[in-house]
Chain A
Amino acid sequence: MSEKTKLVEARREKALIPERDYDKSPILECVNLGINFGGLKAVDDFNLTIGRTEIAGLIGPNGAGKTTVFNLLTKVYQPTTGTILLDGKDTHGMNTIQVNHAGIARTFQNIRLFNNLTVEDNVKAAMDHSMHYNLFSGILRLPNYWKEEKLAHKRALELLSIFRMENLASARAGSLPYGAQRRLEIVRALATNPSLLLLDEPAAGMNPSETAELMENIRTIRDTFQIAVLLIEHDMNLVMNICEGLCVLNFGQIIAKGTPEDIQKNPAVIEAYLGKQKEA
């Protein structure tokens, strides 16, 4: 155990996190993370450190293993090798539910809302862990039912107001337009009080003005809640604009890490995206 901790310390010195987070311990550290599906190494030797209030990006060509990394972090898959430290605590042996309670919330690439529930109930459902009244209080509608439900209602509207969606609170989630569904997923994830928010292609299917608004929203979320955000995105405009640190994956391995400026100039990244330049 102590040996493992030492290893992390050594890596932490090399890790890149925003300067303002330097004196705080990082929220997430992945050490040698890897998963094999049969003989296929979907993700291999994945090392990543994210600062307390960092907006980090995970990019790479299709099939590079980006969503697999999210699934490893949220324990949809159990890693074959390596360690995930969330706020310094090893998440080994936790399941998806426990990881969420520990502070990781996510959105999905293919939207997964509770389609038959209202927008408000989608958000309230995510507050379940922070509500405490039991089955009988709920059925008998004891005072703590009313108290907690009132609080949940207020908080749900507050969270929805980040994306100016309060007026949609009573709409059925499945009936929302695509962009609004994506935003609702983010609100739902936020409602679980995460310290790390994972966004899987938040701008997919959005038009440029919606994307610009989303960028602002992500910054607002980071500033208001003081949380870290890790996002997967193919929209380079968004990634280069809001991410402070970037990590590029290709065939399950990290090929580059650094600031957006560094990444744009990195020959390995250009090769992964555009192919090798023919020698003259």
Chain B
Amino acid sequence: MKRSMNSRRTNLLNYATYLLVIAFFVIITVMNSSGSLSSIMKGMLVPICAYSVMAVSLNLTVGILGELSLGHAGFMSVGAFTGVTAAVALGNHVSSAPVRLLVGMVVGAVFAAIVGVLIGIPVLRLKGDYLAIVTLAFGEIIKGIFNNLYVGLDSRGFHISLLSDTTNLDPDGTLIIGGPMGLKSIPTIATFTSGIILLLITLVVVFHLVNSRTGRAVMAIRDNRIAAESIGINVTKYKLMAFTVSAALAGAAGSLFAMNYTTMVANKFDFNTSILILVFVVLGGQGNMMGSIIAASALTILPEALRSFSTYRMLVYAIVLILVMLATNNPTLKSFFSKKKNTVPVDPDEPEDGDEGKEAV
């Protein structure tokens, strides 16, 4: 089968992304074994992986589907809470940490996918700003639910209550989710290796999805919804598909993230976290998965690296962010890179297709 130039270049970029992740893994492993890794850095390895997965999965919604979602942290928290619950429940029967972690991540992904479908059905009828606002609201609703949820486990099984702790556990039982206290006594079984594996799986899922009929349909809808309908593409179905995959990956990432700490509260997954992930995506470039990973890693390390500025830390962080955004949008740099890639630079005069439903066809 003759491969076209364009798909070959896309494939090269995909392989480069895999390679980058593996290289990062190798370097960190070598540094770790030689003892040149600071304890702060060690603590950030799993969050870097989790945030990279979050950024890549949000990029599927923002860059490929073309819809702005401000509630991505909500899916992360669904994954975290359900995943940890599963891992704790499994703790009594299975001692192998990787198995518990795997089950936790799968359960987190499944629950996040279910929530993704439930939220996606009403939300994906909206467009643009409206969609962004409603996803923001759903993110807050999820946070609100977990702040008031009590889940306990004892010999009689799961006990769930809302608003107040009426789980009435047996003395031998454990309260897994304690309302505003969040997750308590999480098994800290997340490892850097498992994080890298999850990141690689995420990349495979996203790249393969983009290069399948689903990806084509989703990108067709993004580029021109009216034309997509006219050639018989089921717009609702494909939007929901992309949104759900994105939510599921976020759920797995949330599960991994939570199991790096001993406690976790729902307020950790608030609007600020959603915005932070969106910043990774925008900084790395919409539709650019490698950019998302680099941005997520850099911006996770940056606040720690800026500790020497003490009080001015967040100010410097913001300035660095602004400078990077300015630099990446610099037309000279852009044309330099596009020349290097030997592509036609995007014509700035090209009319943006607003694509409103009421528009004359």
Instruction: Judge if B37 is at the interface, Cβ distance under 8 Å.
Output: no
Q: How distant is B40 from chain A, measured CB to nearest CB, in Å?
A: 36
Instruction: Judge if B231 is at the interface, Cβ distance under 8 Å.
Output: yes
> Are B231 and A188 in contact, with the CB atoms below 8 A?
yes
**Distance in angstroms between the alpha carbons of A116 and B347 in the assembled complex:** 12
Instruction: Judge if B5 is at the interface, Cβ distance under 8 Å.
Output: yes
> Are A97 and B232 in contact, with the CB atoms below 8 A?
yes
- Chain A residues contacting B216 (CB-CB under 8 Å) are 117, 121, 124-125, 128
Instruction: Judge if B13 is at the interface, Cβ distance under 8 Å.
Output: no
Instruction: Judge if B212 is at the interface, Cβ distance under 8 Å.
Output: yes
- Chain A residues contacting B361 (CB-CB under 8 Å) are 67, 70-71, 76, 108-109
> Are B230 and A101 in contact, with the CB atoms below 8 A?
no
**Distance in angstroms between the alpha carbons of A115 and B350 in the assembled complex:** 10
Instruction: Judge if A189 is at the interface, Cβ distance under 8 Å.
Output: yes
**Distance in angstroms between the alpha carbons of A170 and B6 in the assembled complex:** 5
**Distance in angstroms between the alpha carbons of A142 and B5 in the assembled complex:** 24
Instruction: Judge if A105 is at the interface, Cβ distance under 8 Å.
Output: yes
Instruction: Judge if B42 is at the interface, Cβ distance under 8 Å.
Output: no
> Are B4 and A128 in contact, with the CB atoms below 8 A?
no
Q: How distant is A68 from chain B, measured CB to nearest CB, in Å?
A: 9
Instruction: Judge if A153 is at the interface, Cβ distance under 8 Å.
Output: yes
Contact residue among A101, A114, A175 (Cβ-Cβ distance under 8 Å from B223)? A114
Stretch touching chain A among B48-56, B233-241, B293-301:
B233-241
Number of interface residues of A (CB under 8 A): 53
Instruction: Judge if A139 is at the interface, Cβ distance under 8 Å.
Output: yes
Instruction: Judge if A120 is at the interface, Cβ distance under 8 Å.
Output: yes
Say whether, besides A117-B223, A125-B220, A192 and B353 are in contact (CB < 8 Å).
no
> Are B232 and A101 in contact, with the CB atoms below 8 A?
yes
Say whether, besides A128-B217, A135-B241, A174-B350, A141 and B226 are in contact (CB < 8 Å).
no
Contact residue among A70, A125, A135 (Cβ-Cβ distance under 8 Å from B231)? A125
Interface size class of B (residues with CB under 8 A): 35 or more
> Are B227 and A108 in contact, with the CB atoms below 8 A?
yes
Contact residue among B204, B215, B227 (Cβ-Cβ distance under 8 Å from A113)? B227
**Distance in angstroms between the alpha carbons of A149 and B213 in the assembled complex:** 8
**Distance in angstroms between the alpha carbons of A174 and B5 in the assembled complex:** 17
- Chain A residues contacting B223 (CB-CB under 8 Å) are 113-117
> B-facing mask of A50-89, CB < 8 A → 1, else 0?
0000000000000000010011001010000000000000
Say whether, besides A121-B216, A131-B213, A139-B205, A115 and B4 are in contact (CB < 8 Å).
no
> Are B208 and A141 in contact, with the CB atoms below 8 A?
yes
In the complex, which residue of chain A has the Cβ closest to the Cβ of B234? A97
Instruction: Judge if A169 is at the interface, Cβ distance under 8 Å.
Output: yes
Q: How distant is B338 from chain A, measured CB to nearest CB, in Å?
A: 12
> Are B213 and A118 in contact, with the CB atoms below 8 A?
no
Q: How distant is B67 from chain A, measured CB to nearest CB, in Å?
A: 15
Of residues 137 to 153 in A, which have CB atoms within 8 Å of B's CB atoms? 138-141, 145, 148-150, 152-153
Instruction: Judge if A41 is at the interface, Cβ distance under 8 Å.
Output: no
Say whether, besides A67-B361, A139-B205, A139-B209, A117 and B219 are in contact (CB < 8 Å).
yes
- Chain A residues contacting B6 (CB-CB under 8 Å) are 118, 170-172
Q: How distant is B234 from chain A, measured CB to nearest CB, in Å?
A: 6
> Are B231 and A138 in contact, with the CB atoms below 8 A?
no
**Distance in angstroms between the alpha carbons of A109 and B360 in the assembled complex:** 10
Q: How distant is B113 from chain A, measured CB to nearest CB, in Å?
A: 11
Say whether, besides A97-B229, A97-B234, A100-B230, A116 and B219 are in contact (CB < 8 Å).
yes
Instruction: Judge if A164 is at the interface, Cβ distance under 8 Å.
Output: no
> Are A191 and B212 in contact, with the CB atoms below 8 A?
no
**Distance in angstroms between the alpha carbons of A100 and B229 in the assembled complex:** 8
Contact residue among B1, B4, B7, B235 (Cβ-Cβ distance under 8 Å from A97)? B235
Q: How distant is B286 from chain A, measured CB to nearest CB, in Å?
A: 11
**Distance in angstroms between the alpha carbons of A216 and B51 in the assembled complex:** 56
Q: How distant is A99 from chain B, measured CB to nearest CB, in Å?
A: 9
Q: How distant is B356 from chain A, measured CB to nearest CB, in Å?
A: 13
Instruction: Judge if A126 is at the interface, Cβ distance under 8 Å.
Output: yes
> Are B209 and A115 in contact, with the CB atoms below 8 A?
no
Contact residue among A67, A139, A192 (Cβ-Cβ distance under 8 Å from B232)? A192
Instruction: Judge if A211 is at the interface, Cβ distance under 8 Å.
Output: no
**Distance in angstroms between the alpha carbons of A189 and B227 in the assembled complex:** 10
Residue in B215, B226, B232, B245 with the greatest tally of chain A CB atoms within 10 Å: B232
> Are B230 and A106 in contact, with the CB atoms below 8 A?
yes
**Distance in angstroms between the alpha carbons of A39 and B5 in the assembled complex:** 54
- Chain B residues contacting A135 (CB-CB under 8 Å) are 209, 212, 214, 241, 245
Complex A-B: 7 CB contacts under 8 Å = A67-B361, A112-B230, A114-B223, A117-B219, A153-B1, A189-B231, A191-B231
List A residues at the B interface (Cβ < 8 Å). 67, 70-71, 74, 76, 95-97, 100-101, 105-106, 108-109, 112-118, 120-122, 124-129, 131, 133, 135, 138-141, 145, 148-150, 152-153, 169-172, 174-175, 188-189, 191-192
